[in-house]
């Protein structure tokens, strides 16, 4: 067996290539949209990718099933009941896919979504026990899939949670304890709330250590998995819907058009948004007025999806040479309307001083003094998720998670001084720059976020 696990850290996504070296036949499971790595590795191993298996319709990224099918002629497969605008081969519970010596067993594990499946991997037909199971978003390392993402399209969180309970206990926990668990996501994903940084585990280890698998009634499980979930990024419904569509293919090699500052400003007047991918410190020193800061070295696509609408034209601003990276990473969540990049931003800023903005970033001590001196006149905004605020918050803060900020921006007053904070300082730069781009005046964020304030014993 040839088995490759791929980690896309900025989206906390795992995908897989499984091949049989005796026959050269292979499948890819849950591919990211830019698929060149799977093609290259298949060629290196002498494999033919004949099937793309999606464990479910993903909400947090745009999958590469159409790109792989176009490149290889592979069949696209989803679980029972799945429907799409393109041809798919629905897999059924218990179905066996033979690659040669390697066998794949399909198990229907609904709960995160109705069509979700897990893939049990057998290295030889006569083996007494399987080697591994690819659990999709049903079972993570340290958590299970959230059941509340489809409430906007007719499924209740409770109904899916009950399906998930049965899937876990009837389909996955019946596997031998030494079966290796390979999930579709890791720590940081909004598809769960307590995901581990590990990229693999075993059924036995999860049975012993995963809080969601501890002995409890079905009702208690429903309560546990439907409460305390992070706010889902607003692009999730768009991505889940687009993954069902016969959409345009991604061209990984296309060049991102370069724009003059004048061209960029005209596009902004017509509704485009400027996303500045430089780090928050560099952005704070100088940026084009109206730009929103989403650092490329963080969870760029996910947080860009919090502050940009899917159909909105995007102009990217990056360090030289990273423009195409920004375009590809936005394409991974289906944001294909990158109309260009501002070339050589440092030169642009130096020659257009009237267009340069700076960002106020307060140290923990400065923030404490400012909040004390401006008591009652400062709008303090906490952009962390509700589960993060359980451990503490700054007095007087209103909690508006970053994923909710676009929809709740009218709840805030743009005319009074505003201080924004998150856990560490990355999301607060995103949020503060978004507020400035929408006309808020006197906006600052806190360096190091709540964690830094707490560490300074100011709380």
CATH code, 431: 3.40.250.10
User: Which of 333, 357, 381 is the last residue in one of the domains?
Assistant: 357
pLDDT of 458 reads: 46
Q: Decide which of 398 and 149 is more confident.
A: 398
**pLDDT over 50 (residue 170):** yes
Tokens representing residue 430 in the block: 């995103």
Same domain, 301 and 412: no
- Asked if residue 269 and residue 350 are part of one domain, the reply reads yes
233, 306 contact by CB (below 8 A)? yes
The Cα 196–Cα 178 span in angstroms is 19
Lowest mean pLDDT across 80-84, 150-154, 197-201, 392-396: 150-154
Six-digit token string for 356: 């340069």
Shared-domain flag, residues 206 and 303: no
Whether residue 232 is contained in a domain is answered as yes
279 with 402, same domain? no
Question: What pLDDT is attached to residue 457?
Answer: 54
Is residue 147 domain-shared with residue 197, that is, in the same domain?
Answer: yes
Residues 364 and 353 in one domain: no
Residue 341: give the domain boundaries.
258-357
Q: Which DSSP letter does residue 233 get?
A: P
Instruction: Check whether residue 195 and residue 337 sit in a common domain.
Output: no
CA distance 177 to 331: 39
In a domain, 252, yes or no: no
Give the C-alpha distances (Å, rounded to integers) separating 65 from 40, 188, 306.
16, 24, 25
Instruction: Tell me if 330 is assigned to some domain.
Output: yes
pTM: 0.93
pLDDT of residue 207 exceeding 90: yes
For helices 36-45 and 65-72, what crossing angle results, to 10°? 40
Q: Looking at the domain assignment, is residue 250 inside a domain?
A: no
Give the Å distances, CA to CA, from 258 to 112, 149, 324.
41, 37, 11
Strand partners, 89: 77
Q: In the predicted model, is pLDDT for residue 165 greater than 60? A: yes
Which candidate, 91, 105, 134, places its Cα nearest to that of 3?
134
Q: How confident is the model at residue 188 (pLDDT cuts 50, 70, 90)?
A: confident
Cα end-to-end span (Å), the chain: 55
Give a yes or no: residue 186 inside a domain: yes
Between 231 and 163, whose confidence is greater?
Answer: 163
Q: Is residue 251 part of a domain?
A: no
**pLDDT tens-digit profile of 20-58?**
999 999 999 999 999 999 999 999 999 999 999 999 999
Predicted confidence (pLDDT) at residue 297 exceeds the cutoff of 90: yes
Q: What is the pLDDT of residue 459?
A: 46
The residue among 357, 380, 405 that closes a domain is: 357
For 55-102, the pLDDT digits (tens) are: 999 999 999 999 999 999 999 999 999 999 999 999 999 999 999 999
For 73: left if phi > 0, alpha if psi spans -120 to 50, otherwise beta; the answer is left
**Do residue 218 and residue 270 come from a single domain?**
no
In a domain, 247, yes or no: no
Query: Are 271 and 256 spatial neighbours (Cβ–Cβ below 8 Å)?
Result: no
Interaxial angle between packed helices 300-307 and 323-331, expressed in degrees from 0 to 180 and rounded to the nearest 10: 70
Average pLDDT over residues 375-403: 89
Mean pLDDT of the chain: 94
**311 and 175 part of one domain:** no
Domain limit, last residue, from 324, 357, 390: 357
CATH number of the domain bearing residue 160:
3.60.15.10
- Per-residue pLDDT tens over the stretch 97-149: 999 999 999 999 999 999 999 999 999 988 999 999 999 999 999 999 999 88
| CA 42/CA 33 separation, integer angstroms | 16
In this structure, are 300 and 443 located in the same domain?
no
Q: Please determine, for residue 375, whether its predicted confidence score (pLDDT) is greater than 60.
A: no
Residue 18 shares a structural domain with residue 166: yes
| Continuous segment of H or E residues that includes residue 268 | helix 261-269
CB 137 within 8 A of CB 127: no
Give yes or no: residues 330 and 207 share one domain: no
* Residue ranges with strand state E in 39-112: 48-53, 75-78, 89-90, 96-98, 103-108
C-alpha radius of gyration, the chain, whole number: 23
pLDDT at 195: 79
| Averaged pLDDT for residues 227-233 | 82
Does residue 248 form part of some domain? no
Q: Considering its fold, how many domains does the chain have in total?
A: 3
């Amino acid at each position: 067996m040839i088995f490759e696990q791929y980690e896309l850290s900025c989206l906390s996504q795992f995908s897989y290539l499984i091949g049989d070296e005796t026959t050269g036949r292979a499948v890819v499971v849950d591919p990211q949209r830019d698929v060149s790595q799977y093609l290259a590795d298949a060629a290196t191993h002498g494999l033919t990718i004949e099937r793309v298996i999606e464990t479910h319709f993903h909400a947090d990224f745009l999958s590469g099933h159409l790109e792989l099918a176009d490149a290889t002629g592979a069949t696209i497969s989803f679980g029972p009941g799945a429907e799409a605008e393109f041809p798919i081969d629905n897999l059924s519970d218990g179905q066996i896919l033979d690659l040669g010596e390697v066998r794949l067993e399909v198990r229907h594990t609904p709960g995160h979504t109705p069509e979700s499946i897990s893939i049990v991997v057998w290295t030889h037909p006569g083996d007494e026990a399987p080697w591994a199971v690819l659990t999709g978003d049903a079972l993570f390392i340290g958590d299970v899939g959230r059941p509340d993402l489809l409430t906007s399209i007719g499924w209740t969180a409770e109904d899916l949670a009950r399906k998930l309970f049965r899937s876990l206990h009837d389909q996955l926990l019946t596997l031998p304890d030494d079966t290796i668990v390979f999930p579709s996501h890791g720590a940081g994903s909004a598809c769960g709330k307590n995901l581990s940084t590990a990229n693999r585990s075993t059924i036995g280890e999860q049975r012993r250590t995963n809080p969601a698998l501890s002995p409890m009634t079905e009702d208690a499980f429903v309560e546990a998995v439907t409460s305390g979930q992070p706010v889902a990024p607003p692009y999730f419904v768009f991505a889940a819907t687009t993954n069902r569509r016969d959409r345009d293919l991604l061209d990984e090699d296309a060049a991102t058009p370069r724009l003059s500052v004048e061209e960029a400003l005209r596009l902004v007047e017509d509704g485009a948004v400027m996303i500045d991918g430089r780090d928050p410190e560099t952005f704070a020193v100088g940026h084009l007025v109206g730009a929103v800061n989403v650092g490329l070295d963080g969870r760029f696509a996910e947080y860009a999806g919090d502050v940009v609408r899917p159909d909105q034209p995007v102009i990217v601003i990056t360090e030289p040479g990273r423009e195409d990276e920004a375009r590809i990473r936005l394409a991974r969540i289906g944001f294909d309307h990158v109309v260009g990049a501002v070339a050589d931003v440092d030169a642009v800023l130096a020659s257009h001083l009237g267009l340069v903005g700076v960002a106020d970033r307060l140290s923990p001590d400065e923030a404490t003094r400012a909040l004390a001196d401006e008591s009652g006149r400062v709008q303090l905004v906490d952009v962390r998720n509700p589960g993060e605020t359980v451990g503490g918050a700054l007095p007087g803060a209103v909690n508006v998670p970053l994923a909710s900020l676009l929809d709740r921006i009218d709840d805030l007053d743009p005319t009074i001084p505003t201080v924004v904070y998150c856990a560490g300082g990355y999301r607060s730069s995103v949020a503060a720059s978004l507020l400035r781009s929408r006309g808020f005046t006197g906006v600052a964020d806190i360096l190091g976020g709540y964690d830094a304030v707490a560490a300074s014993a100011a709380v």
